[in-house]
């Protein structure tokens, strides 16, 4: 447990640092290009890593690479992998519900949080 926690922490620090650097490199006014790039790139790498680790029996690297590094780079990669897992199991309704509740719930939560912080609610 302690080794996994340290792996997640180290990977998370590295992933967050990489996301920050990507944001600096892709600074644009208006459309959030850096966030979009991190989400798409992180999901692509998550797909490569989950299959590679599974095929090669290197599952012990998951905390560092998947939860830590990619989780720190983008939490969208974990969301996407969980959605794909539900779809591959044939739970299409659950996958759709998960997507709607995750995206809709997250947007609602940020609106409520911002409204409370601004004193609107």
Was 52 annotated as part of a binding site? no
Closest listed residue to residue 50, CA positions, set 69, 36, 66 = 66
Give the largest Cα separation in the chain, rounded: 53
**Could you give the angle at which helices 33-56 and 76-88 cross, rounded to 10 degrees?**
50
DSSP state of 30: S
| 74 known ligand binder | yes
H helices present in the chain, as ranges: 2-25, 33-56, 62, 71-73, 76-88, 92-117
CA distance 50 to 46: 6
- Residues in the annotated binding site for Na(+): 71, 74
Which residues are part of a known binding site? Answer: 71, 74
């Amino acid at each position: 447990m302690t080794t996994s926690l340290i792996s997640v922490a180290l990977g998370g620090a590295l992933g967050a640092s990489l996301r920050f650097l990507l944001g600096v490199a892709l600074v644009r006014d208006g459309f959030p290009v850096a966030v979009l790039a991190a989400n798409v790139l992180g999901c692509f790498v998550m797909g490569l890593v989950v299959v590679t680790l599974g095929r090669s029996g290197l599952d012990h690297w998951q905390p560092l690479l998947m939860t830590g590094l990619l989780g720190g780079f983008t939490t969208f990669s974990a969301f996407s992998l969980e959605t794909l897992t539900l779809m591959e199991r044939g739970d299409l309704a659950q996958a759709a519900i998960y997507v709607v509740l995750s995206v809709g719930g997250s947007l609602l939560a940020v609106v409520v949080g911002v409204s409370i912080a601004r004193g609107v609610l």
